Structure 1
Amino acid sequence: MKRDELLSQIQPTFIQLREVSDALRDQFNRPPSYGGWTPGQAVRHIQMFTGGMVRLITSDSDEKREPENEKVKQLVSIFLDPDNKFDAPEFIVPENKAFDIERFHSYFADFSSQLQAATQGNDLSYICKGFEIPGLGPMTRLEFVAFTVFHTQRHIRQLERMIVDFNASTF
């Protein structure tokens, strides 16, 4: 995937997250019939893994890698393949409590704008220092943007499955 194609997905991804979470407003803090996280917990998980992303991709670095998108295909295959199952690392497991959907809407509107702005003012071929995703090794700024977009899209699909489940359980 080319740089511009990836960057053009930032805003639409977070708009879609808002739309899908809005569709779950009445069930936001209720688990689906098959168990697992509530919609609120899934959205909180997205907030948790995006929390330091802008800081990470704008942090100082002295090492570049070309091509800057070397691991993007791997990230697509990891996060957009519905057959892949993961357990979230403990530090991004959401709390078991009720969440306020409006706080998330505000957070993600700000976050997506900040992420978009950070991609426009920085050379995205620099390696991010200070954090690595297990099994992937060092990644460029562009690859961390890809991680953010694709990981969010994965959870949007999860939320869409919850909509189907909640609709089926009302009949």
Structure 2
Amino acid sequence: MEKIINEAKDALGGLKNLLSKIEESDINKIPFEGSWTAGQLAEHMALSNAGFVEMINGPVKETNKPADLMVVKLKEIFLNFNTKMDSPAFIFPADKVYDKNELLDRFESIQKDLVKSVNELDLTKTCTSFELPNMGFLTRLEAVYFVIYHTQRHTHQLKNIYLNLN
């Protein structure tokens, strides 16, 4: 458990630390054509990660596969920075003004909730509240790695936004 907790803290902390470096006056600026603002990217991550924490803490069933079966596939998908992905509508960030400190507070809360879940729950159980297209239902362990790799992907994108703002 310590390994996965450290990976989650590193991923979520890395995104939070990078967002904190962006000036409040730049958080809602479009850094280049076709990009989200830093605020929109952070909102997308807050929506996604909070949703996954909710899923991890939601209804489950016994698992009939290795609990980590999809972890490698998730890593390959999210850490391939050459592929462009579209966000599902339900976690697509609104076009509005975002407050950096509010986003940072949400990240802190999500990280605490995720670590608590990893510490307290049986990660081998399969989450049944949400089915991923082409992947099916994830185990709690796979869902935690979804959060880790998805966060690493968007931290990479936030670095690009940060560089273009400066």
Using structure 1 for the length normalisation, give the TM-score.
Answer: 0.90
Please name the residue that 1:104 is paired with.
103
Among the aligned pairs, what percent are the same residue?
30
Greater Cα offset, 5-14 or 77-86: 5-14
Q: Shift of the alpha carbon at 1:55?
A: 2.4
Offset at residue 51 of structure 1 (A): 2.2
- 2:33 maps to 34
Number of the residue aligned with 1:14: 12
Unaligned runs of 5+ in 1: none
Q: Residue 79 of structure 1 aligns with which residue?
A: 78
Cross-structure match for 2:123: 124
The amino acid across from 1:86 in the alignment is: M
Q: Measure, in 2, the Cα distance between the counterparts of 1:66 and 1:7.
A: 23
Matched to 2:140, the amino acid is: R
Q: Separation in 2 of the partners of 1:55 and 1:163?
A: 30
| Residue 4 of structure 1: how far off its partner (Å) | 4.9
Whether the 8 Å contact between 2:59 and 2:129 is mirrored in structure 1 is: no
* Residue 61 (structure 1) aligned with residue 32 (structure 2): no
Count of aligned pairs: 165
Q: Which runs of 5+ in 2 are unaligned?
A: none
2-structure distance, mates of 1:54, 1:91:
15
RMSD (CA atoms): 1.5
Q: Deviations over 1:51-93 (max 9, x none)?
A: 2222211223232244211100000000011012111011111
